[in-house]
Structure 1
Amino acid sequence: MDSSQLLPQNHGSVQELAKELKLDLVPQRYIQEHLEPTFVSNHSSLLPSIPIIDMNDFVGMLESDNGSLTKLRSVCQEWGIFQLVNHGVDKSLIKKMKEEVVGFFNLPVEEKLRYKLTAGEYQGYGQTILHAQDQKVDWADRFYMITNPLHRRKPHLLPEFPPVLRETMENYLLELQKLAMHLFGLTGSAVEIDKQEMMDVFDDGMQSVRMTYYPPCPEPDRVIGLTPHSDAAGITILLQVNDVEGLQVKKDGVWIPVNFLPDAFIVNVGDILEIMSNGVYNSIEHRATVNATKERISLAMFFNPKLEADVGPAKSLTTNTGEPPVYKTLIMEQYLKDFFSRKLNGKTFLERMKIKNGH
């Protein structure tokens, strides 16, 4: 990561700011001038909803019976996001994880600032990382940290969490790691990537977690909780911590709200899986809006290749399909440095990774 690109910032808390605000007093640094509207329909039946993938459909699946894989491929290609049900992660663990995340954001601000971001860092607790003096700030507080490989953990973050939160988080990370590896095997098989290649790339790969608190805002239509983006990840697994919604995805040029199913995870394709699928899959653009009267809390886990792995169209896929590679290949560590350098000259990172005249 090019730390010189990160500017010092206000280490205060949007959560604390929101408690003091009166109507029409949202500071200018949070006001977004040109927010695209959300899709609105007079008939709820006309509102598109993201697809559902049931993990039970893959239990005992035979190679010859690939209907479930065909559906998974179609969903990842057309949407790049789905709700995952019957995922097998223990409900009591999820309930405990939700309680502990809520508890963290309810700590006194002085306690949370023990983990605050410092200049040049991107791990810790704080607001939007600033890359430019005039950059707008998201209406959210975040805690982001790398959790795997273990030697890349910051000793003052997860190891210093309150004991119950630390233990619950460790158990949750292990369960989602297993789930993510299963999903990598399935999404790879659906586009003719050999399972072993997916395991070699992602097993014991780089993993990170982000807890996000979106305070209520008196002017919710003039701020954004999470700036529109696609994830620089293989896949992201999102847990809605409380019942307030705000996640939206951009489909066919319009922003569609995501209505969470009880006990479901939201799984979205990231840039790296789109690259590995040679452009078959869609790294979905998404954002988060905020509520006028209610807080929203979420917990996202990001799963990436190991740092020494190649990031490019999967070799087994291009061999099996005969299709030429659409994207360049980089070592994961270089990929991350390039991504976080922000020197993209007005292009998205995926556009920059595309091979000229690739098709």
Structure 2
Amino acid sequence: MGETMELTFPVVDLSKIDGDERGATMDVIKDACENWGFFELMNHGISHELMDTVEKHTKEHYKKCMEQRFKEMVASKGLDQVAQTEINDMDWESTFFLRHLPKTNVNEISDLEDDYRVVMKQFAVELEKLAEKLLDLLCENLGLEQGYLKKVFYGSKGPNFGTKVSNYPPCPKPDLIKGLRAHTDAGGIILLFQDDKVSGLQLLKDGNWVDVPPMKHSIVVNLGDQLEVITNGKYKSVMHRVIAQTDGTRMSIASFYNPGNDAVIHPAPALVDEGAEKSDVYPKFVFEDYMKLYAGMKFQAKEPRFEAMKANAATI
């Protein structure tokens, strides 16, 4: 399973989307969406300088405000003395959440330095633009009209957009506890700025766990459950996890561009075959209802979530 698979991890040079190689670039994106659920973006238009500043502030903030808290949590749960049994009900990670849309909470998080707030707001604006550009590229590949996905996500108040800032500290027993347990993402399209030195992110492909290679200044993109529903399974959300490492703290900044709470999610009519059996068509539901269900089932298979939504469909 080793390195041969890693070499083929889909990497997209987004600068080529406007030139002669547009067709080939769109094909790489299409193949990645259909067969991987993940791809890595280079030359995505977000300045390296901005990314470096975000990274510097994030790592400083962790050291100053989060590291000690994490150590105390580990000690209080006795995890530093961890027994020889696997721990399946928690993750070896230190995180906080920033909300950008529909309304930001960046000013309400008390221990953020002003410079950090400013740079995270800038970063969010760039990521939002990138997410919307990618959604239109997906529309093109799927044969949907431009703007279709953005419109579905919009609901009545616009999309939900937020960032999970995580650090995965060194772990004494990485074989016994995951940095983050295996799951698919519930939402729309996810843009990840990850550490380029400390690895750990893996995705499940054809029954094997494959490393998502750390690449400097790249943005890793993955598809959430909502895109699987809207494409009626043409694109799939993929199980992924983070393996804790024994040395080095891994930084992960994941931004989730999700439908608005009241957005009605359903397969795009153009992607449902005319004579399709009802059982072959994904459910229709309100995004907020899906999220309530997901909250209790995050670390389980996604299929029962879709089934539960089908069972509820009569209520919409």
Q: Give the TM-score of the pair, scaled to structure 2.
A: 0.81
User: Does the Cα contact within 8 Å between 1:326 and 1:355 map onto a contact in 2?
Assistant: no
Aligned to 2:176: 222
Residue 155 of structure 2 is aligned to residue 201 of structure 1: no
Letter in 2 for 1:190: N
2:10 paired residue among 51, 54, 60: 51
Residue matched to 1:164: 115
Larger deviation: 307-316 or 169-178? Answer: 307-316
**Identity over aligned residues, as a percent?**
28
CA distance in 2, matches of 1:282, 1:97: 30
CA contact (8 A) 1:344 1:352 kept: no
Query: In 1, Cα distance between the equivalents of 2:304 and 2:123?
Result: 30
- Quote the residue 1:148 is aligned against: 101
Offset, 1:211: 0.9
C-alpha separation in 1, matches of 2:92 and 2:291:
25
Closer/same/farther in 2, CA of residues 206 and 255 from structure 1, 3 Å limit: same
Alpha-carbon distance change, 46 to 328 in structure 1, aligned in 2, over 3 angstroms:
closer
Q: Distance in 2 between matches of 1:326 and 1:255?
A: 29
Q: What is the CA deviation profile of residues 145-172 of structure 1, one whole-angstrom value per residue up to 9, with x for unaligned ones?
A: 3321116x38632x76220110000000
Q: Is the 8 A contact 2:294 2:305 kept in 1?
A: no
Q: Which runs of 5+ in 2 are unaligned?
A: 74-86, 312-316
Alignment deviations for residues 52-95 of structure 1 (CA, whole Å, 9 cap, x no partner): 11212321579xx7444333222101111011111000111001
Residue 266 of structure 1 pairs with residue 220 of structure 2: yes
Residues 1:332 and 2:308 are matched in the alignment:
no
For 2:309 and 2:235, how far apart are their aligned partners in 1? 14
Q: Secondary structure at the match of 2:175?
A: helix
Q: Is the 8 A contact 2:98 2:164 kept in 1?
A: yes
In structure 2, which of residues 137, 143, 159 is the aligned counterpart of residue 186 of structure 1? 137
CA distance in 2, matches of 1:60, 1:310: 36
Q: Distance in 2 between matches of 1:51 and 1:345?
A: 26
Q: Distance in 1 between matches of 2:300 and 2:67?
A: 39
**1:54, 1:84 within 8 Å by CA — same for their partners in 2?**
yes
Size of the aligned set, in residue pairs, is: 290
Letter aligned with residue 145 of structure 1 = L
1:231 aligned partner: 185
Whole-Å separation in 2 of the counterparts to 1:303 and 1:347 = 19
List aligned pairs for 1:62-211, cutoff 5 A: 66-109=23-66, 136-150=89-103, 153=105, 156-157=108-109, 161-202=112-153, 204-211=158-165
Mapping 1:302-317, distance limit 5 Å: 302-317=256-271
Bigger drift between 248-257 and 66-75 goes to 66-75
Q: Compared with structure 1, are the counterparts of its residues 259 and 342 closer, same or farther at alpha carbon in structure 2 (3 Å cutoff)?
A: closer
In structure 1, C-alpha distance between the alignment counterparts of 2:170 and 2:234, rounded to whole Å: 38
Partner of 1:29: none
Distance in 2 (alpha carbons) for counterparts of 1:216 and 1:111: 13
**Cα pair distance change 1:301/1:345, threshold 3 Å:** closer
Give how far 1:288 is off: 0.5
Closer, same or farther: CA 350–187 of 1 in aligned 2, 3 Å: farther
Aligned-partner Cα distance in 2 for 1:206–1:283: 18
Paired amino acid for 1:85:
M
Structure 1 or 2: more helix by fraction: 2
Cα pair distance change 1:110/1:343, threshold 3 Å? closer
Show structure 1 runs of 5+ residues with no match.
Answer: 1-38, 117-133
For residues 269 and 353 of structure 1, do their structure 2 counterparts lie closer, same or farther at Cα, with a shift above 3 Å needed? Answer: farther
Do 1:181 and 1:202's aligned partners in 2 also have CA atoms closer than 8 Å?
A: no
Q: Secondary structure at the match of 1:222?
A: coil
